[in-house]
Structure 1
Amino acid sequence: METDDKLGIIAMESFATQAKRINQILCEWNKADNYLIDIEVPRFNSGEAKCVIKDSVRHKDIYIISDVTNSSIKYKMDGDYNRMSPDDHYQDIKRVVGACNGKANRINVIMPFLYESRQHRKTCRESLDCAMMLKELEYMGVDNIITFDAHDPRMQNVLPLQGIENISPALQFTQQLLTEYEDIEIDPEHLMFISPDEGATERVVFFASLFGVNLGMFYKRRDYSQVVNGTNPIVAHDFCGGNLAGMDTIVVDDMIDSGGSIIDVCKQIKERGAKRVFIFATFGLFSTGFAKLDKAYEDGLFDRIFTTNLVYQKPELLEKEYYLSISMNRYIAAIIDTLHNYGSMEKIIKPAQRIRETIARYKGIPL
């Protein structure tokens, strides 16, 4: 059986497990043997590195996939092991691009968590790291950048003439929720979507409009007189919205980092009489461990956390009773297949119609 010699997938070590399954799905769809291209990124004792591509990339559409948040990978430097930071992962992406350039037909970078996406705007004399990264990849000849649920979707404006796709995982969240819970009443009297801050409002508006329910929003009051761990600490969360008594609520955000902010939001929601609290977060980083979340769950502050497998999932996380992982492998395969065949990305970026159909089936409404 012949493999499509026009498509190649380069999986960085940070995304190797998911990439194997994505490759299998594409091979099943296209009756091919393999799309994965073998590479190495060896390091010298000094910590410097290079990329070595072991298969041909000539005239291929190359898809480089990397999880820049994967801190489980280590490299040896000066006799000690260092965890790879987002900076290290990004440098390796550039090494692969540099090794491919001039030979590949198109170079596409799939970066589920957009590198430095939280440093997306200037508020004083400071670096603008995400924009610099995007311009650098453009300069290096990358044709398309595919990311998911960017912290600020306006980052697409950095590359007005270049392909940058910001994909919403809203369909997968909807499908998983309605599969796991068969007693959710989808109407304004029983369900509300809630934004944990003003930055997540667009995501919540998208969900609420498709579900036909109301939304609420928390406003973060910050102490701008000091900076702690790179941000201004949150003083309080103020709620703007209707009555939550007896309602199921769904908090939607792009990520859970330490979990402190989302726990405070859930606490206020429960204090307002909510029946159940579900959390949708595209990226579950859980960078400070699970102790706070474990206690919050024991205290009944939330019922379930849904996050995707787009970033590294700690083994401990997968064992949590309150956690549910959403696989995005098939969706990434569909994205690669669509782009490779020059198809339209409109229905993949924000799959509103498919979400409506999922809700209609759940409610027993004829399509």
Structure 2
Amino acid sequence: MSYRGKWEGDAPQDKAMRWGSIFPAIMAAFWVFFAWRGKNALGRAIGIIQLACKILGENAALVLLSFGTLGAICVFTWVWVAMFTRMFWMGNYIVGGVPLWHLDTKMMMLATYYIMMYLWTLGICSNIQRATSAATVSQWYFHRHQIPKASSKDIMQAAFTHSTTTLFGTICFSSLVALLVRVPLMVAPRRIAAFIHMFCYSFITSPVASLTNPLTLTYAAIHSQPLIASSRAVAGMRFIDTAGYGTGKHPRTAYKFSKMLLTATRGITALSMGIGAWVTTARDINGGSAYGYIVGMIAGAIGWAVLGATEGCLSNIVDACLVCVGSEGPNGGHCREAQMVFGG
């Protein structure tokens, strides 16, 4: 596609397309390699996903929660795009008979703020779903045999109320920390990342990697604890690193392998939608390369959110079940099936 434009592949946008295609190719190669290494843990990984499907079947209200979260994200994205384009793009200019969008460089800081707020809001919506799912799974795990048995709708409503009231500040804080800390730590060199870790540890007194771990918020929702206390508990929970180890020369935890299988499906779809929208927009709009990037990011975010209604729901259930198994210890007997697949 990069050679089909009027520049015949010599424009910076065309070169960016060609070099950018290497990234998803490398990701695919790594996914295939990790899947081959974890082949000995495949049975347990499938067992974990089947257990998550069983829990979802007995708590069907989580499906409504997932699609409700998806609908909220789509509505917010629609409103945000309208606000962003109204503020960021100056208007439609005719140059040589070709319409062009003029980019106002003076609004870059405000546009960055809009993008950060968009990503933060997405994180809050996703974490509300995670906390609600964790509380629902916790009730199923520890109290599913109690009589009288509460309905799935009542349990989910109580968990959702708890997430949007008592835990709402914790959820917002977790989303903000993940946005401001986790991304720089992944991008920065090792020495800079170590300095950031030491700097943050001096103020928070908790490992940054554990503070931004999604399992920390799951633990906080299950045990109704603050985020920092939950991060310390998760950092000391060795069961998370050894849950469901396979056998063979290259053992891999079945928990991580099951998460990889779910995330790969979601990631491939989001990348396909994002890159497809980017290429199509860049080829159809002359001079609109920056606009093409924005459209691609939005399309990828929408694809990630759409798959989140199914994969995200199962992934949250897997995380919550792991924390429940790890919390009760090796002598717990609330769910023997979970103990078997996670190796508790």
TM bucket, shorter chain: under 0.3
TM-score, normalised via structure 1 length: 0.25
TM-score, normalised via structure 2 length: 0.26
Higher relative contact order (CA 8 A, sep 6+): 2
More helix by share: 2
